[in-house]
C-alpha cells in the first residue's frame, strides 16, 4: 500500500470516527439526516469520494443508512414489534412511538401454487391476490412483505387496497371485521439483492422471516403472509394476546 493510499485511508477513517462520535454525543439523533456529502467535504476539507468512504464504513457498521434520493440518516432505534394472535402493523409501530407507512409495489391476481393453496384451504390453481411491498417506521424500511388472499372470496380486494392502503381496512371493507393469527413460523435468513435494495441494506444482511396464516372468526384462512424483517431494525416479541 502506497503512502498516498495510506493517507487517504487515514482520512476517511478519521472522518468516520468523528461522525460516529458526533452521533454518540447526540449531535445527530436516531432518524436525523446527516449533512450532504458536499457539506461534509467542506467541513473536513476533503473531496466527496473520501466522504463516501467514511459514510460507507458507518453504513457497514449499521450506524447510518442511505435512502435513495433523500440522503444519509442515523439508524433509528430498533422497533419493538409484537407477534401474537392479533398482529397489526400500524398499531405495533405506533405503540413503539414511531410513524408507520407502507409502500405497495405489486398487486396481482394469479393461480395459487401448492403451498399457498394448502395454507389457504384452496385447490392448487385457484386464483389468489398477491400483494407485495415494504413497511416503514419513521420512513425507514422495516420489513418487506408478501400477502396472499383467496380471490374468489375477496374479488374487490385489490381495488379497495389501492384506495385505502391498509390490509386491515381492505379486509374490513370486504366483510372481515376481525382476523387472528393461527400460526407463525420464524426463521433467520440473509437478504438477497432484491430484498437488500428494497430494505436499503447490503446483500447478505441478516433478516428475520415470518410466515403466518391469518383466519377469520370462523377459523377460515383469509391471508398467508410472509414478512422479511431487517434484523437490526426490529425487536420481535412473541407473546400471548388477549382474545
Q: Which of 80-84, 107-111, 182-186 has the highest mean pLDDT?
A: 107-111
Q: What is the mean pLDDT of residues 122-145?
A: 93
Contact 30, 75 (CB under 8 A): yes
Res 240: pLDDT: 62
- Please report the pLDDT score of residue 76 as a whole number: 66
Which CATH architecture is the domain 79-238 placed in? 3-Layer(aba) Sandwich (3.40)
pLDDT of residue 65: 82
Q: What is the pLDDT of residues 20-39, one digit of tens each?
A: 888 878 898 877 899 999 99
| Residue whose entry in the numeric block shows the C-alpha cell 476539507 | 45
Domain-by-domain residue ranges, the chain?
Answer: 3-74, 79-238
- Grid cell locating 62: 449499521
Given a contact cutoff of 8 angstroms between Cβ atoms, the answer to whether 216 and 150 are in contact is no
Q: 3-state SS of the chain: helix, strand, coil percent to 5?
A: 30, 35, 35
Look at residues 224, 229, 209 and name the one whose alpha carbon lies nearest to residue 113. 224
Rounded to an integer, the average pLDDT of 209-222 is 95
* Residue 173: predicted pLDDT: 95
Predicted pLDDT at 239: 67
Q: pTM for this one?
A: 0.72
Please report the beta strands in 153-231, taking only residues with DSSP state E, as ranges in sequence order. Answer: 180-190, 206-215, 221-230
pLDDT above 50 (res 165) = yes
Asked if the domains 3-74 and 79-238 are classified in one and the same CATH topology, the answer is no
3-74, what's its fold? Arc Repressor Mutant, subunit A (1.10.10)
- pLDDT class for 164, splitting at 50, 70, 90? confident
Amino acid at each position: 500500500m502506497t503512502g498516498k493510499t495510506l493517507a487517504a485511508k487515514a482520512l476517511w477513517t478519521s472522518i468516520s470516527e468523528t461522525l460516529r462520535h458526533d452521533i454518540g454525543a447526540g449531535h445527530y439523533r436516531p432518524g436525523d439526516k446527516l449533512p450532504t456529502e458536499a457539506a461534509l467535504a467542506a467541513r473536513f476539507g476533503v473531496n466527496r469520494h473520501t466522504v463516501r468512504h467514511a459514510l460507507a464504513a458507518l453504513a457497514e457498521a449499521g450506524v447510518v443508512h442511505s435512502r435513495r434520493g433523500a440522503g444519509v440518516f442515523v439508524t433509528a432505534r430498533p422497533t419493538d414489534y409484537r407477534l401474537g394472535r392479533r398482529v397489526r402493523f400500524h398499531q405495533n409501530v405506533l405503540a413503539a412511538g414511531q410513524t408507520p407507512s407502507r409502500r405497495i409495489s405489486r398487486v396481482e391476481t394469479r393461480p395459487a401454487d401448492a403451498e399457498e393453496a394448502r395454507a389457504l384451504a384452496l385447490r392448487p390453481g385457484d386464483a389468489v391476490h398477491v400483494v407485495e411491498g415494504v413497511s416503514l417506521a419513521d420512513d425507514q424500511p422495516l420489513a418487506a412483505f408478501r400477502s396472499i388472499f383467496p380471490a374468489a372470496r375477496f374479488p374487490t380486494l385489490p381495488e379497495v387496497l389501492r384506495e385505502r392502503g391498509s390490509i386491515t381496512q381492505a379486509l374490513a371493507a370486504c366483510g372481515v371485521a376481525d382476523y387472528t393469527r393461527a400460526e407463525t413460523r420464524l426463521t433467520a435468513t440473509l437478504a438477497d439483492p432484491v430484498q437488500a435494495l428494497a430494505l436499503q441494506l447490503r446483500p447478505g444482511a441478516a433478516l428475520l422471516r415470518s410466515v403466518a396464516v391469518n383466519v377469520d372468526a370462523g377459523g377460515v384462512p383469509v391471508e398467508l403472509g410472509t414478512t422479511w424483517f431487517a434484523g437490526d431494525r426490529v425487536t420481535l416479541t412473541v407473546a400471548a394476546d388477549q382474545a
